[in-house]
Amino acid sequence: MGLIESFYQAAARAGFLVRCRWLNSSLPLETWVNFKAVDESVLNGLTLSTETTITFPASSLHGIAAGAVVEIRGDRYQVREVRSLGDGSELRATLTKLDGV
């Protein structure tokens, strides 16, 4: 287990992370992720938009890409993009909430 995986395990034990399940993977994959849903002002302050992201060790959801569907706290999200952070041992996925699924 690498440093980033140890860090995420410690954060999960401390209650800072939530479970994420990759629904359309060939094998059922679940891991701990840092889930953020941050509201930001758009259209010159006329409305708010929620930027939803998860960060996780690259080894935990190996192969996840745009179009994948994940479930977090009972809600389903579609992955819009996945970006590598730092040395590539950690990834950030931008999500779109799927309504009525």
47-93 pLDDT per residue, tens: 777 789 999 999 998 889 999 999 999 999 999 999 999 999 999 99
CATH number at residue 91: 2.40.10
If one counts every other C-beta atom within 10 angstroms of the C-beta of residue 31, the result is 20
Q: Is the pLDDT of residue 40 over 70?
A: no
Which range of residues forms the domain containing residue 71?
A: 3-97
Cα–Cα distance for residue pair 86/92, rounded to 1 Å: 11
- Domain count of the chain? 1
The pLDDT value recorded for residue 100 is: 67
Instruction: Return phi, psi of residue 23, to 5°.
Output: -80, -35
pTM score > 0.75 for this model? Answer: yes
The pLDDT value recorded for residue 50 is: 74
